[in-house]
Structure 1
Amino acid sequence: MRRDLILHIGASKTGTSALQRGLFDSAAQLEAAGIGLPYLSRDESLKGILRPFGWRTARGFAEPFDEARVARIGRRLRRTPGDRLLVTNEDLCEARVDRIQRFVDIADDAGLDTRVVLSVRVITSVVPSEWQQFLKHRMTLDYPTFLERLRTREGPWAEHFWQRQDVAATLQRWGSVVGTDRLDVVVTPDRATDPDGLYRHFGALLGFDPTLMSWPTDDINASWGYTEAEVYRRANAALGNRLPSYETDYVPGLRTWLVRGALTRGASARITVPPDAVAWLRDVAHDHVAAVRDAGIRAHGDLDALVPDADAGRPLPELRDDEIAEAAISTIADMAVMQLRARRREESGAAPRRAADVRREQQQPGRP
């Protein structure tokens, strides 16, 4: 008997981290509802699907297939129990048609009919989040330059952004393989006004009761403030071509420490979309909404909420060198503590800890 494979392809910065945390933490509840998860973490899907299909950070599906590892995907899908299966990884939205076709063929050979789900979010929220995400990929563009490159669609970072965030193009690529009748769009509501909206829409689409799931209550993948993000950008610029390998040099040398908490999140003013960028972003959003409606693709949530209000722009916070220096010094201090404690834990076989936990310990009464 054939089964459905629900393939959630992202897009990134649409609440995927929180959604995936809840799904992976609720594997038992999903299994009871007849939904099998072949990959139980982002790391598993990265190693099991993205890497075999040639995906590399900030470059997309740029490498050849690893045929030996690709062959394992079908076996894993076939042996996963469930009336239907669910795979979620936000980087799949970057896939070119040849990769899409290959994955759908593998699923078909495993007795699965692929159904594709794309989550989307208002673009004025996505743009600042993606700038921060690209800093983790060692980008050095300042935020105003990044915005201008997105508007003109010039340069590799703009190309990478639109490969992930052009809703119309993503749906066209995937729809050309699976058919538009096998596509669904889920609108991620504003978390401040509807914190459970994404879970509710996703549950309705997949056919499970979201109230039975273990959803995260903390802010997953929280943003940095503008000052802290600028510290990261300047660190990337200062590194230049040092730490040449992203995976083996840059990630353990810098990214891991900053992401785990040495670079404090939310300490300074939030990054905004300035008023002069809103008009062209509204045009992009209108095009995305029209593409969904014109193709007759099923939408879960309010498509009109994807179009930012005309007055959605806010002036960018001021970047002050003294505040950037203070944040950088604090980051260096936290990295020193984290690295020493990580080394001691490694020697003792204990698990790593985040900088936030270290700071809380240091703030306890009686501690030096």
Structure 2
Amino acid sequence: MAERVFVHVGTPKSGTTYLQAGLWAQREALRDHGLSFPGRAPFDHNRASILVRKGGHLEAASGRRRGGRKLKVWTRFCREAERFDGTVVLSNEWYLAAGPEQAAGAVEQLGGERVHVVITTRNLVRLVPAGWQESLKVGRGTSLGDFVAGLDDPRNKWTWDVVDPARVARRWAEVVGPDRVHLITMPEQPTSSSQLWDRFCETVGLASGLTDVPPRLANESLSVQAARLLQEFGPALRDEIDRHDQHVRSHSRWLRNAVVRQVLAGVPGDPIGVGPQLRDELAEREARSVADLRDLGCPVTGDLDELLGGTDRDGARHPDDVTEAELVEASRALAVGLLAARMRSSERPGTDPDDGDDGDDGDDGDDDTDEEPTEP
């Protein structure tokens, strides 16, 4: 039986993917040191999260649901928590979207009082525009201002219940108690590239130096120019994908991978900023959130003050300030990048019978993933 089970629930855009990649890459070494990060594939943690927040684990327990890949994954996770002699870690940033009943059921099935919750977070001035970017990457065309206004709407995927660490901590504290909700803060300027990894290892009881520090992942952040272009084109691209591919992860496959990662992430430009007015609004919310966390009294690895005083990156600009000329330049970069990606692929376009009629003197010889769930 596991001594402790840690469920890392987010928040999104707080280094969760970096931690998950590090845990997965070193799972065999971690197991030798008494820590299990279960799963047959990295996406199993997404599957388990989807099942929990949709209540599938509760339906199965009551006999109203049988089989299914997600349920099989969750069953294996629960079995690991029961059988492994050490610490078990589950990690997906969308566990935080589970309702009270779903969260309580998951905790009970994983071991009850042995279950602890981990929340990683950073200041809202950096986290909020990162969340806006994520919405763009699946074809949402919302402006940054409208995205922030929409955080008050419980029908949206991105809400203050997702972004505000105090709200997340309080919900899970109602299930496991504040003493078993662990907050990991990250400063705006980390003192080392390993700081987040070190703090996570400390929180779950893994001694420092036992594993390699995971390499930082390739930066998928967009320039403000690329983000504004995606804001303009994203909805049309999403509609086109829907006409040809109905798979649940089609938007992530085509937009996030084929457009954002392969092309737009390389479009040069300036960092995304929130501007003075929104920065002041977020600063007020940061202060309220930190005060709530102090009142809650959950253990902290780091310092709650690191969540205060968020600033824009040097040279950052608000997306609304991008000019039409900059959008044209970004569009050119997108078109060239997509053509280059097609030319690098193994698939060539068909040959037109009239090729060569353009006066070209050249030779006339003959010379296509498993991602995160998209938004509902």
One-letter identity of the residue aligned with 1:325: V
**Once the 2 structures are TM-superposed, how far is the Cα of residue 309 of structure 1 from its aligned partner?**
5.2
Aligned partners of 1:315 and 1:227: how far apart in 2?
9
Tell me: CA distance 1:42–1:11, structure 2 relative to 1, closer, same or farther (3 Å). Answer: farther
Aligned partners of 1:270 and 1:312: how far apart in 2?
7
Name 1:53's counterpart in structure 2.
52
Residues 117-165 of structure 1, C-alpha deviation per residue, up to 9 Å, x if partnerless? 1111011110111110111232111223323444xx25844x6232311
Tell me: CA distance 1:36–1:172, structure 2 relative to 1, closer, same or farther (3 Å). Answer: same
Say which is worse superposed, 277-286 or 74-83, in terms of deviation: 74-83
- 2:133 aligned with 1:107: no
TM normalised by structure 2 equals 0.78
Aligned partners of 1:236 and 1:344: how far apart in 2?
25
Aligned partners of 1:175 and 1:11: how far apart in 2?
15
Aligned partners of 2:76 and 2:24: how far apart in 1?
21
Name 1:24's counterpart in structure 2.
24
Name 1:297's counterpart in structure 2.
298
**Once the 2 structures are TM-superposed, how far is the Cα of residue 180 of structure 1 from its aligned partner?**
1.5
Name 1:177's counterpart in structure 2.
175
Alpha-carbon RMSD across the aligned residues, in angstroms, is 3.2
Tell me: CA distance 1:207–1:40, structure 2 relative to 1, closer, same or farther (3 Å). Answer: farther
Counterpart of 2:115 in 1: which secondary structure? strand
Aligned partners of 1:291 and 1:155: how far apart in 2?
21
Say which is worse superposed, 283-292 or 33-42, in terms of deviation: 33-42
Residues 23-81 of structure 1, C-alpha deviation per residue, up to 9 Å, x if partnerless? 2111122112100111365412112x0233355xxxx99xx876534365234432463
Say which is worse superposed, 124-133 or 71-80, in terms of deviation: 71-80
Tell me: CA distance 1:324–1:187, structure 2 relative to 1, closer, same or farther (3 Å). Answer: same
Residues 333-365 of structure 1, C-alpha deviation per residue, up to 9 Å, x if partnerless? 3223434544549xxxxx99xxxxxxxxxxxxx
Counterpart of 2:111 in 1: which secondary structure? helix
**Once the 2 structures are TM-superposed, how far is the Cα of residue 293 of structure 1 from its aligned partner?**
1.4
Residues 296-353 of structure 1, C-alpha deviation per residue, up to 9 Å, x if partnerless? 10011010110125899965263122222222232233223434544549xxxxx99x
Name 2:144's counterpart in structure 1.
143
Query: Number of matched residues?
Result: 336
Counterpart of 1:105 in 2: which secondary structure? helix
**Once the 2 structures are TM-superposed, how far is the Cα of residue 230 of structure 1 from its aligned partner?**
1.3
Counterpart of 2:114 in 1: which secondary structure? strand
- 2:122 aligned with 1:121: yes
Aligned partners of 1:201 and 1:54: how far apart in 2?
27
Aligned partners of 1:237 and 1:227: how far apart in 2?
17
Map 1:89-108 to 2 at 5 A: 89-108=92-111
Name 2:131's counterpart in structure 1.
130
Tell me: CA distance 1:78–1:155, structure 2 relative to 1, closer, same or farther (3 Å). Answer: closer
Name 1:359's counterpart in structure 2.
none
Counterpart of 1:85 in 2: which secondary structure? strand
Name 2:166's counterpart in structure 1.
168
Tell me: CA distance 1:287–1:16, structure 2 relative to 1, closer, same or farther (3 Å). Answer: same
Counterpart of 2:84 in 1: which secondary structure? coil
Map 1:72-91 to 2 at 5 A: 72-79=73-80, 81-91=84-94
Tell me: CA distance 1:237–1:276, structure 2 relative to 1, closer, same or farther (3 Å). Answer: same
Structure 1 gap segments, 5+ residues each: 346-350, 353-368
Name 1:356's counterpart in structure 2.
none
Tell me: CA distance 1:291–1:325, structure 2 relative to 1, closer, same or farther (3 Å). Answer: same
Name 1:68's counterpart in structure 2.
67
Aligned partners of 1:253 and 1:312: how far apart in 2?
29
| Aligned with 2:318 (options 316, 319, 325) | 316
Q: Tell which structure's C-alpha radius of gyration is larger.
A: 2
- 8 Å CA contact 1:116–1:183 kept in 2: the answer is yes
Tell me: CA distance 1:218–1:198, structure 2 relative to 1, closer, same or farther (3 Å). Answer: closer
% identical equivalent positions: 24
One-letter identity of the residue aligned with 1:106: Q
Aligned partners of 1:128 and 1:239: how far apart in 2?
21
One-letter identity of the residue aligned with 1:223: S
Name 1:355's counterpart in structure 2.
none
Tell me: CA distance 1:24–1:308, structure 2 relative to 1, closer, same or farther (3 Å). Answer: same
Aligned partners of 2:223 and 2:92: how far apart in 1?
26
Structure 2 gap segments, 5+ residues each: 349-367, 370-376
Counterpart of 2:338 in 1: which secondary structure? helix
